């Protein structure tokens, strides 16, 4: 559908896409980073409309797509791409995309899943996520090389058991998925683990970043990330 995606140019190398007509709860950020030798796409949205035609990687240039975790708003269009990487913790589930892992059933039963349907006759009741077997699994310390950038994989469980982030330690660029973002953090999903989330937040308070691009909400600098993490730690102590 023309106009389904919103696109924002962040800088010369980075574009953010999102799906403005998707319910706020499910609306996620999709990040396209252009590297010298390869491009990186972090997360793929809901999969309601094709995402691949929106990604302007030059013909012949490799594009690696990374899912930061297996929840529906991050893996919907993963199957559209040839080189698919994701967390080793949930690798088996990517081959079938079961509701128990993706929570796609939540979207099918929402009161207002979209503010505007993608086409006539569309119904959320028919929403499904296509299987997308991973071509590469990612675990703590693994690296992704774009030629001029090297990202290190961080395992950051809590929101989900398989949450990962990617950091360019030289530049301080951090893709955090749903491990941390500047919006309401979710730690009460069936697969959330608050104790693991506390450990992740403690780790993030000391992580040196220049800029963080999260799975939801606006981007943030190191001071804001520390404030979000410390705020979570303070709140969780009173539960």
> Strand 211-214 vs strand 173-177: parallel, antiparallel, or unpaired?
parallel
Does residue 156 sit within a domain?
A: yes
Q: What's the CA gap between 39 and 46, in Å, rounded?
A: 21
Does residue 40 sit within a domain?
A: yes
Q: What CATH number is associated with residue 98?
A: 3.60.15.10
How far, in whole angstroms, is CA 197 from its chain's centroid?
Answer: 17
How far, in whole angstroms, is CA 77 from its chain's centroid?
Answer: 12
Does residue 1 sit within a domain?
A: no
Domain around 224: 6-237
Helix ranges, 38-90 (H): 72-75
Does residue 163 sit within a domain?
A: yes
For residue 239, pLDDT beyond 80: no
Structure tokens of 177? 């998925």
The pairs formed by 27-31 with CB atoms below 8 angstroms and a separation of 24 or more are: 27/73, 27/216, 28/73, 28/74, 28/215, 28/216, 29/213, 29/214, 29/215, 29/216, 29/217, 31/175, 31/213
pLDDT tens readout for residues 164-220: 999 999 999 999 999 999 999 999 999 999 999 999 999 999 999 999 999 999 999
Report the candidate in 2, 168, 162, 10 with the shortest Cα–Cα distance to residue 94. 162
Does residue 70 sit within a domain?
A: yes
Does residue 121 sit within a domain?
A: yes
For residue 98, pLDDT beyond 80: yes
Q: What pTM value is reported for the model?
A: 0.96
- Domains identified in the chain, total number: 1
């Amino acid at each position: 559908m023309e106009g389904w995606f919103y696109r924002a140019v962040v800088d010369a190398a980075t574009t953010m896409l999102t799906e403005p007509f998707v319910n706020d709860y499910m609306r996620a950020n999709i990040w396209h980073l252009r590297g010298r030798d390869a491009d990186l796409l972090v997360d793929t949205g809901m999969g309601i409309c094709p995402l691949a035609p929106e990604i302007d990687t030059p013909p012949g240039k490799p594009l690696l797509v990374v899912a930061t975790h297996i929840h529906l708003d991050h893996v919907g269009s993963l199957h559209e791409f040839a080189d698919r990487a994701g967390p080793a913790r949930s690798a088996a589930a990517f081959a079938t995309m079961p509701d128990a892992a993706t929570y796609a059933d939540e979207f099918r039963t929402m009161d207002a899943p979209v503010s505007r349907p993608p086409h006539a006759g569309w119904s959320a009741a028919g929403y499904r996520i296509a299987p997308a077997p991973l071509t590469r699994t990612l675990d703590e310390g693994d690296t992704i090389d774009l030629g001029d950038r090297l990202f290190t994989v961080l395992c950051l469980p809590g929101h989900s058991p398989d949450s990962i982030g990617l950091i360019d330690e030289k530049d301080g660029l951090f893709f955090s998925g749903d491990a941390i973002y500047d919006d309401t953090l979710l730690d009460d999903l069936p697969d959330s683990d608050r104790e693991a989330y506390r450990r992740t937040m403690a780790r993030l308070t000391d992580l040196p970043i220049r800029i963080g691009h999260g799975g939801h909400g606006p981007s943030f600098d190191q001071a804001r990330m520390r404030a979000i993490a410390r705020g979570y730690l303070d709140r969780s102590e009173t539960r």
